[in-house]
Amino acid sequence: MATIDVCLSPELLPLYHLEGKLVIVVDILRATSCMVTAIAHGVDHIIPFDNLEECAGMKAQGYLTAAERDGKQVEGFDFGNSPFTFMNPEVEGKKIAVTTTNGTACIKKSEGAKEIGIGSFLNLRAVAAYIRTTKSDVVIACSAWKGKPNAEDTLFAGVLIELLPEFEPESDNCLLALTLWKAAKENPVGFINETTHVKRLHKLGITDDIEFCMKQDVYPIMLLIKEGQIQKA
């Protein structure tokens, strides 16, 4: 029986022995939700970076660039980290280089895995279906906030575990995530409105992104990282 586990913070990834496993990286607010939105709106591929300088340097290779730090768009980049900015015909066929506070760092820290997929509520059931077909051992890697676990990524881990009862839980983090999801599933948006990150985003005037990122199955696509590029599976 294949196993499933939840890593609550990228800082803990070294404990998970990722070789041979499928890792699903999740940053509900908002990095992985933006990646799914961008590819669904015709972006050819996305390259994730964990630092601003390398990401900015991709402009010279014809990439559009996106950068977020502490919720804000970084000056000099084409985009920040709002999914709505990628619902734009101008991104069709384009390549994007992206760096965010936690999400892209979590992707980089997952690089020892056999395969890396991108998860969000927006492509929830496509992710579950892909996991089912691979039958690999799976780790759901939560991007968290500066190393500290967060509720929104853990919630996503919980719903994925609920959708995959045939996978054997590898640690009690699965039980924690599933219990959290069961407590929140009647009103997930109301639940995450209580989180510190939503409060942080609200202080920046960001509200619409939150409700959108909590919508399920808007884009039935699976994204995988192939040779460093995030693209449709």
Binding residues vs ligand 3SL (CB under 6 A)? 27, 29-31, 68, 71, 81, 100-103, 143
**Which residue type is seen at 199?**
K
Smallest gap, in angstroms, from Cβ of residue 207 to ligand 3SL?
12
Of 125 and 200, CB closest to ligand 3SL: 200
Smallest gap, in angstroms, from Cβ of residue 129 to ligand 3SL?
25
End-to-end CA distance of the chain: 24
Smallest gap, in angstroms, from Cβ of residue 1 to ligand 3SL?
33
Of 65 and 101, CB closest to ligand 3SL: 101
Distance CA 68, CA 207 (A): 16
Residues 6 or more apart in contact with residue 61 via CB below 8 angstroms: none
Of 30 and 109, CB closest to ligand 3SL: 30
Of 81 and 173, CB closest to ligand 3SL: 81
Of 143 and 173, CB closest to ligand 3SL: 143
Smallest gap, in angstroms, from Cβ of residue 119 to ligand 3SL?
13
Smallest gap, in angstroms, from Cβ of residue 68 to ligand 3SL?
4
Tokens 């890697």 map to which residue?
141
Of 117 and 136, CB closest to ligand 3SL: 117
Is the CB of residue 104 less than 8 Å from the CB of residue 49?
Answer: yes
Smallest gap, in angstroms, from Cβ of residue 138 to ligand 3SL?
21
Q: Which long-range contacts (CB under 8 A, 24 or more apart) does 53-60 make?
A: 54/99, 55/97, 55/98, 55/99, 58/97, 59/97
